[in-house]
Amino acid sequence: MNAQRLILLLALLGGCREVPPEVPRVPASSVTGNGSVRGVVHFDGTPPPRATVRNEPCCPGAPPTQLEDTVIVGPAGGLANTFVFIENGPATEGSALPAPVLDQKFCQYTPHVIGVIVRQPLKLRSSDATMHNVAISGPDGAQNFAMKAAGETASTVFTQPGFSNTKCDVHPWMAAVIGVFDNSFFAATGEDGAFEIKGIPDGTYTLVARHERYGALRQPLVIKDGQAATVDFRYHPPTP
């Protein structure tokens, strides 16, 4: 084999991405219970200042400025945009479930964090009369959807659990996080930091809180006799 062919072969092999083994899954609707868990994700400390986004020239009708939404702490110290989910629940798939919507409005993603189950469709929409592109990168690789006018939509499906970062290359301050989960037992917190997950079967689990900037916290969760559990999380961000 000559040198040129060897270099080409090595390049091809290096470009191959290993495909994770397929996980046996059942429909999400077939895994139900009577248990639940609720709680609050707390932010201890002084919240970082939220940067001001000046977007009026990009999106007609938008307010002159908006606040960046990566870290939002409510008046009582609750941390918004935090996923809370069961890590080791039964592996399910959501192809028969309705598609939640990730919208683009006034040059920001709405909501900032959004969750789906493996194989559950996710609808992408633009409400802005300007050009966007939805660039997604995560365990399923890269995806890119161009949207040129208000009302345009697209749809995508994820086959691997994990977290995908989403951005718009036209408006670089736009960002969102898509959580793809192994099961339907997840929630996202609002500004009060509160969450509730229902329909959990009896069992011993790990409950995870995951924030895009501050990482993951884990606590044990036991659901017995369909009872309701309470679990709180506290983030202690490093002092600047």
The structural domains of the chain, ordered by start, are 28-235 (2.60.40.420)
- Residue 61 has a pLDDT of 75
- Residue 52 has a pLDDT of 86
Amino acid (one-letter) located at 68: E
Cβ–Cβ under 8 Å, residues 189 and 175: no
Task: Record the pTM.
Answer: 0.87
The SS3 of residue 134 is strand
In angstroms, the CA 159 to CA 120 distance is 9
Nearest CA among 117, 120, 136 for reference residue 175: 136
Q: Is residue 4 very low, low, confident or very high in pLDDT (cuts 50, 70, 90)?
A: very low
For the ranges 26-35, 38-47, 65-74, 95-104, the lowest mean pLDDT is seen at 65-74
In angstroms, the CA 175 to CA 66 distance is 13
- Residues 215-240, mean pLDDT to the nearest whole number: 92
- Residue 239 has a pLDDT of 61
* Beta bridge mates, 116: 180
* Helix residue ranges, H only, the chain: 3-15
User: Based on C-alpha coordinates, what's the Rg of the chain?
Assistant: 20
Query: Do strands 141-147 and 132-138 pair parallel, antiparallel, or not at all (unpaired)?
Result: antiparallel
- Residues 174-200, mean pLDDT to the nearest whole number: 97
CB atoms within 10 A of CB 54: 12
- Residue 57 has a pLDDT of 64
Q: Is residue 13 very low, low, confident or very high in pLDDT (cuts 50, 70, 90)?
A: very low
- Residue 237 has a pLDDT of 79
Question: How big is the CA angle at 81 (ends 238 and 97), to the nearest 5 degrees?
Answer: 145
Residue-wise pLDDT for 188-226, tens only, equals 999 999 999 999 999 999 999 999 999 999 999 999 999
Q: In terms of pLDDT, which residue wins out, 9 or 98?
A: 98
Residue-wise pLDDT for 14-60, tens only, equals 444 455 567 889 999 999 999 999 999 999 999 999 888 876 667 77
In angstroms, the CA 38 to CA 40 distance is 7
Cβ–Cβ under 8 Å, residues 176 and 112: yes
> Mean pLDDT, the chain, as a whole number?
89
In what order do the strands lie in the sheet containing 186-188?
186-188, 83-86, 203-211, 215-223
Q: What are φ and ψ of residue 216, in 5° steps?
A: -115, 140
Work out the percent of the chain whose per-residue pLDDT is above 70. Answer: 89
